[in-house]
Amino acid sequence: MKPQNIFILLFALFLFACAEDGQSSLTPETSISGQGGSLARFSIVGNYLYTINSDQLNIFDISDASQPFLKNTQFLPSNDVETIFPFSNWLFMGTETGMLIFERQAEGTVQFISRYDHVRSCDPVVTDGEFAYVTLRATGCRNAAEGAVDVVEAISLEELENPQIIGDKELNSPRGLALDNDVLFVCDGPAGFWVFDVSTPGTFETITKVENINVNDIILRNGIAMVIGPNNVYQYDYTKLPTLTKISELELE
């Protein structure tokens, strides 16, 4: 193999390793971690596994992947935390009443930054660091308060200490969501899923929508959207939006 080719190969491997664990920034690493959806309560960043357990964030040191140990327990200012989403040095948590933002710090500790509250419902969160998107689901949410609605909200993180809602869009019963640059995918339960252009902050411009499937959560990876519903795993190629091409549908009966 020519040295040039080896270089290209190494570079490709390097890129691949980055993509596998793109949310790590505190610790450089060679280990490869998987990728969860927005409904996850477990998340690996750097050498730590962050887990949510109602009002606790348990932080496990996994520098030796085979022998994790509990490094730290952080009590959360909310006893209904449902999801965790890491971005850069932050941890975003979806709670039944909104969103919490923590900063990851050295030695497996975290620092509370801020919270954003709304009416009690069910809601995961994703972010690109500039904006956060949360879905609020009242339909089929056992603890939803009266007046809770089914929407996706855009929240500005310009002031991280003071997150502000800048826009929303009403949906049917939104659940998991995922963001790739300015393209936001939102699972809408039995109503299918939406693909929105969110390049204009606070607006949700529909690029396309897939109907007649029931979906809960989604992972975006290398131009493929992996979408999970109660009985199926669907995969779509989204590199040629607004065209969304179904690659496969696995029915798990």
Partner 1 sequence: MSTRLLFFLLLVSLSSCFERMVDIPEETIGLAPIYGEESDKLIQLMDPQPIVSLYKIYYKAPYIYAGETGRGVHIIDNSDPSAPKKIAFLQILGNSDIAIRDNYLYANYENELVTININDLDNIEIVSRLENVFDKFVGDLFPEGYSGFFECVDPTKGVVIGWSEKILLEPQCWR
Closest CA relative to residue 119, chosen from 156, 77, 165: 165
Does residue 135 interact with partner 1 by CB under 8 A? no
- 136 is a site residue for partner 1 (CB under 8 A): no
Contact 121, 135 (CB under 8 A): no
Q: Which of 222, 160, 212 is nearest to 188 (CA)?
A: 212
Q: Does 250 bind partner 1 (CB under 8 A)?
A: yes
CB of 139 vs partner 1, minimal distance in Å: 8
Q: Which one of 77, 230, 242, 243 is in contact with partner 1 (CB under 8 A)?
A: 230
Q: Which residues pair with 154 in a beta bridge?
A: 133, 167
- Quote the tokens at residue 190: 């039995």
CB 192 within 8 A of CB 210: yes
**Residue 29 or 197: which CB sits closer to partner 1?**
29
Query: What is the footprint of partner 1 within residues 100-119 (CB under 8 A)?
Result: none
Number of residues that bind partner 1 (CB under 8 A): 54
Residues 18-57 close enough to bind partner 1 by CB under 8 A = 20, 31-37, 39-44, 49, 51, 53-54
Q: How far apart are CA 99 and CA 118, in angstroms?
A: 9
User: Among residues 168, 160, 164, 85, which one has the least CA distance to residue 127?
Assistant: 85
**How far is residue 82's CA from residue 144's CA, in Å, rounded to a whole number?**
14
**Spatial distance between the Cα atoms of 44 and 61, rounded to a whole number of angstroms:** 10
* Binding string, residues 179-218; x marks residues near partner 1 by CB under 8 A: ----------xx-------------------------xxx
Question: Which position among 10, 13, 15, 70 is part of the footprint of partner 1 (CB under 8 A)?
Answer: 70
Query: Which of 13, 25, 145, 221 is close enough to bind partner 1 by CB under 8 A?
Result: 221
Residue 106 CA, distance from chain mean position: 23
Return the number of the residue (33 or 97) whose C-beta is nearest partner 1: 33
CA triple 41-228-148, angle to 5 deg? 65
Least CB distance from residue 242 to partner 1, whole Å? 21
In b/e form, how buried is each residue of 16-28, taking b as 16+ CB within 10 angstroms? eeeeebebbeeee
Q: Looking at beta carbons only, is 96 or 217 nearer to partner 1?
A: 217
Q: Is 139 a binder of partner 1 (CB under 8 A)?
A: yes
| Window of 102-110, 125-133, 197-205, 225-233 that interacts with partner 1 by CB under 8 A | 225-233
Identify whether the C-beta of residue 102 lies closer than 8 Å to the C-beta of residue 113.
Answer: yes
Interface stretch with partner 1, choices 3-11, 85-93, 199-207, 228-236 (CB under 8 A): 228-236
Contact residues toward partner 1 (CB under 8 A) are: 20, 31-37, 39-44, 49, 51, 53-54, 58, 60, 62, 65-70, 139-140, 142, 173, 175, 189-190, 216-219, 221, 224, 226-233, 235, 247-248, 250, 252-253
